[in-house]
C-alpha cells in the first residue's frame, strides 16, 4: 500500500532531507511540497541536489494545501507547527520535525523555549531503551502524532540510556560535549554561520546548560530509568556541514567493569538496524554516518577517574531529524521499520 505524503518547509535543510530520503522510500508517494518565501518556485531551483522530483513546484504552506494526505511531515520553525497541526484530520499521520511537541513538562518548555507549551506527542527515537523493558518504539505503533527528536538530544540520549537502564552508571553529573556541524542551525542568515567564520575554527555556544536540547535529554534519560538526573551539555561548532560527535561521560557504579558496560550497551541495541555499538577499541567518525540513518557508538572505561566515556556519531539531518521522522512514521503505519532508510554512510 502506498501512502500519500505532504512535506511542509521544503526549502530548509530539514525539509530538504525529508524529501531526499522520501525519494528512496517505496511506500511513500510525495504529492505536495510546501514552503513559505520560496512558494511558487520549482523545488529543484531551491534545492538543486533534489533532482528526482522533476519540475514539482513549491506551494504555500497552508493547512489547505497540506490536508488530504495520509502523512504530513512538518519541517517548520519552532512554534509554527501546533496551529497548523490542529487543522489536520485525526486520521492523518503528522510528524513534526520541530521542537513544539517534544517536551512533556510545561515548565521545561517555558524555561528553555518560552511562550505557551503545546502538549507533547509520541517521541521519535524508537530505539530509546525504556526503564523496565522495551523501547520507545512500543509507544509509536499506530500513533497519529509524532515529535521527531532534537539532533543533539538523539546523540546524547542514545549514548547514555543503556547504562542508566542497566543501572551501571550514575545518572547525575553526566557531562557531554558535542562537536556539531552548522546545518543543525538551519539556513538562518546570521553572521556567525557564515562560511568565513566557521571554516578553520571551532567555537562553543549555548555554554552553561542553556541549550534547548538539555531538558529533552533529561526527559529521555528519565524514561530510561533515571530518578535524579543532571547533565552538563556543551555543543561545539566545528567546520563540517553535517554530523554530531558526542563525547559523553558518566561515573560508573562501584565495581562495574568494562565488559559489563560493553555488554549492556550491546544488549540495548542488539537487534537495532540503525544503532550499532562498535567492538571495544573502536570509535566512530561522523563521516561513517553521513547521509545514513545510523548512530554509531563506541565506549571506553577510564578506570583512573571511574568514568565511562561514550562516543556517539550520527548525521544531525538524518538520524538526528529526517531519518528519525521517517523511521517513526514507518513504525506508526505498520511498515517495516527500515523501509527507505540507508544504513551506509557516504565516506570519505
Cα–Cα distance measured from residue 65 to residue 296, given in angstroms and rounded to the nearest whole number: 38
Q: Does 113 bind a copy of itself (CB under 8 A)?
A: no
Contact pattern for a copy of itself over residues 223 through 262, marking x by CB under 8 A:
-------xxx-x-x-xxxxxx-x-x-x-x-----------
Residue 252 CA to residue 171 CA, distance in Å, equals: 9
All three cell numbers of 80, joined, read: 509554527
Helix (H, G, I), strand (E, B), or coil: what is residue 143? coil
Check: CB of residue 243 under 8 Å from CB of residue 294.
no
Chain centre to alpha carbon of residue 155: 8
Among 144, 222, 253, 285, binds a copy of itself (CB under 8 A): 285
Residue from the set 163, 298, 320, 323 that interacts with a copy of itself by CB under 8 A = 298
232 or 260: CB nearest a copy of itself: 232
Q: How far is the CB of 117 from a copy of itself (least distance, A)?
A: 19
Stretch that binds a copy of itself, among 146-154, 220-228, 264-272, 338-346 (CB under 8 A): 338-346
Catalytic, 151? Answer yes
> Which of helix, strand or coil describes residue 252?
strand
Task: Report yes or no: 337 and 325 within 8 Å, Cβ to Cβ.
Answer: no
Name which position in 62, 105, 107, 202 contacts a copy of itself (CB under 8 A).
Answer: 202
Select which of 97, 151, 266, 295 is catalytic: 151
Which residues, including other chains, have CB under 8 Å from residue 58's CB and lie 6 or more apart?
A: 10, 11, 33, 34, 35, 38, 39, 40, 41, 42, 43, 46
In this chain, which of 183, 219, 220, 327 binds a copy of itself, going by CB under 8 A? 183
> Minimum Å distance from CB 29 to a copy of itself?
16
Region 28-47 residues binding a copy of itself, contact defined as CB under 8 A: 45, 47
Using DSSP bridges, classify how beta strands 28-35 and 3-8 pair: parallel, antiparallel or unpaired.
Answer: parallel
What are the residue numbers of the active site? 151
Amino acid at each position: 500500500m502506498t501512502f500519500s505524503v505532504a512535506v511542509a518547509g521544503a526549502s530548509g535543510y530539514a525539509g530538504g532531507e525529508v524529501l531526499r530520503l522520501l525519494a528512496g522510500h517505496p511506500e511513500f508517494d510525495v504529492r505536495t511540497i510546501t514552503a513559505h518565501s520560496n512558494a511558487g518556485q520549482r523545488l529543484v531551483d531551491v534545492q538543486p541536489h533534489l533532482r528526482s522530483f522533476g519540475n514539482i513546484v513549491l506551494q504555500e504552506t497552508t493547512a489547505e494545501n497540506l490536508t488530504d494526505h495520509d502523512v504530513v511531515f512538518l519541517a517548520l520553525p519552532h512554534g509554527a507547527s501546533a496551529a497548523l497541526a490542529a487543522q489536520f484530520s485525526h486520521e492523518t499521520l503528522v510528524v513534526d520535525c520541530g521542537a513544539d511537541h517534544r517536551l512533556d513538562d510545561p515548565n521545561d518548555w517555558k524555561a528553555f523555549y518560552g511562550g505557551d507549551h503545546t502538549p507533547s506527542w509520541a517521541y521519535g527515537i524508537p530505539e530509546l531503551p525504556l526503564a523496565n523493558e522495551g523501547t520507545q518504539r512500543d509507544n509509536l505503533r499506530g500513533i497519529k502524532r509524532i515529535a521527531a527528536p532534537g539532533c543533539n538530544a538523539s546523540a546524547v540520549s542514545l549514548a547514555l540510556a543503556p547504562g542508566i537502564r542497566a543501572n551501571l552508571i550514575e545518572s547525575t553529573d553526566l557531562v557531554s560535549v558535542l562537536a556539531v556541524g552548522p546545518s543543525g542551525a538551519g539556513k538562518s542568515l546570521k553572521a556567525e554561520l557564515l562560511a568565513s567564520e566557521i571554516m578553520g575554527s571551532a567555537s562553543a555556544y549555548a555554554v552553561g546548560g542553556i541549550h534547548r536540547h538539555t531538558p529533552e535529554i533529561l526527559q529521555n534519560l528519565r524514561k530510561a530509568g533515571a530518578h535524579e538526573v543532571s547533565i552538563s551539555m556543551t555543543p561545539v561548532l566545528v567546520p563540517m556541514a553535517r554530523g554530531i560527535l558526542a563525547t559523553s561521560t558518566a561515573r560508573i557504579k562501584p565495581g562495574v567493569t568494562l565488559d559489563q558496560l560493553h555488554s549492556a550497551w550491546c544488549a540495548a541495541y542488539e537487534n537495532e538496524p540503525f544503532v550499532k555499538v562498535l567492538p571495544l577499541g573502536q570509535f566512530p567518525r561522523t563521516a561513517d554516518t553521513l547521509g545514513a540513518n545510523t548512530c554509531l557508538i563506541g565506549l571506553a572505561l577510564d578506570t583512573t577517574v571511574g568514568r565511562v566515556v561514550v562516543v556517539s556519531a550520527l548525521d544531525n539531518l538524518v538520524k538526528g531529524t529526517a531519518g528519525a521522522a521517517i523511521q517513526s512514521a514507518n513504525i506508526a503505519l505498520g511498515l517495516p521499520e527500515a523501509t527507505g532508510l540507508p544504513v551506509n554512510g557516504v565516506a570519505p
